Structure 1
């Protein structure tokens, strides 16, 4: 079953656009019919058509943001040793630009795997906030950044190329420095979001640095914070080269905060799901007994589009998958203030099992808080304890007056 067929089976109205079609004319036709897209899946793997889409959506100025999934075929080197594609990696530029007024995620996947359509349908419908996602070997990877400690310096000459000089300048630097060192310098905006061209060139530089070239130069891509002075950069560069990494972000500010701000997207209106009756399951229907089970069944039914969820119904047998389970656990955390481990949910993926996990986790939190309080009391001297009891008594008297 194709991706379009899977989405249609979930109640989505689908319009397909073939390569070579006039995207602007098709979009104008749909808008003229009163049909505004909630979600767009871009499968063409080229930055030019995606940039055109950015312009068209900006001109359309719909009151509702659009949820956009950009799909590529193994462009990123995720697990090491993969053949990344720097040219196609530039698609991150328009993808970042789309984030400004819409929701956009980049999903890198091998389309030949048998479950590719299922995984893509899950990405499109789940609406998770991750910007850069890759599927490899049964795992879902999300790009993150970790702090690096720099110590020793590398005494060597390196060719430094600014990504603003363009793609050809980078490639010329690589061919002109066989066996040497090449540093491709980009702005921090290439990572946290900024000008479309800056982001695209930064993605190109990162993919170039990740490529393995026998006999070629070693390449390091560095995304610099504009607050770093030339003197600081000159001091840092030998230590960056000694790190052995292929890409480094240099930021004088909290990078996580910058990433969150750059990837903050408006809430897209999700197309309403078709609500289906409860499917035929291996377990009989048992209605919720408590208010907690009733609320969980409501969350469950909203996610799966099922009316009448029983407390013994299996989440995955009912049509759920790992991404929807991620959403469910997130909603449970927001609703009940309890962090349920995924392993705990997978052990008993039912409403009753999740309710028991919530109660157990809440009890564990209360027990830990009580143990902490007892430890604090035991650490007090008799005099300090009497002073605290006297203060508590005085506070109670004042509250009662």
Structure 2
């Protein structure tokens, strides 16, 4: 087993040295020299939410548990909406969510938080959303937002539709029905996908973005893995999923300005870097209002920012200490590199990292 350690003093203070192992393992790291850092964190802690974070969470949990052998972490990739609900009810110590808390949610009570305090949204994971497809004989696909919107609304129902052909000169499409696969559960990935279409093709996608898919069309599937499985095992299928889960499926290029653009972590991160924070939030609430209307082909506007939703102050001090350490690790340069390696995520920019570090430091 290869063992690696954090290089940063701050990371050591938060989580100790890391030894990478499988997610299922919760064994202590092999005995080392006298300079081996030790951890005084202990207990079982639960997170729930975004399935987009699944691959990254597996790697983060494995590393953190190895560095903190008295800690057990359970992360349930139940979807952003379910994760926020579990956190609000006190069933999870933090939530992973591709949607920041809404104003309505913030107006309510949070069982895990100290009385009179509210949670904050901390950007944790930036990733492209891939438009995945499975059409025999078609290896490359160009789509613009308008055509994607028509497909997922059910207006375009066959792969040989002239609108698709016009964007893919030289490609012959089969006379084959389109099965558009969407998330059946409340999903922040859906909200980000819909937000892209709402901003870029507003004449077609007229429904306000939400965690629930808005139309009674196509085929629904539970979670990121469900969408990927349905597209993989179907015929003439198309769907959307966190890019880390695209695997060997075809992935469409989307039109940005006058060019068709493939996703990259860097192109996704560029959109986030140029987007403002949501107005009216607390000092350490870092929820983004993504601007997806760019025409710069070095950008990929079909992107999600996935958050760790945490209490600003916990009713249980031990849980507050754990969350501060764990979220501090996963948002550190070392933790972000783990997510890049495991899931192809885009590391937080230096400017955003500084804001995130201040937000984490504020957790009580």
TM-score category of the 2 structures, normalised to the smaller one: under 0.3
TM-score normalised per structure 2: 0.28
Q: Which has the larger share of strand?
A: 2
TM-score normalised per structure 1: 0.26
Q: Which has the larger share of helix?
A: 1
Greater relative CO (CA pairs within 8 A, separation 6+): 2
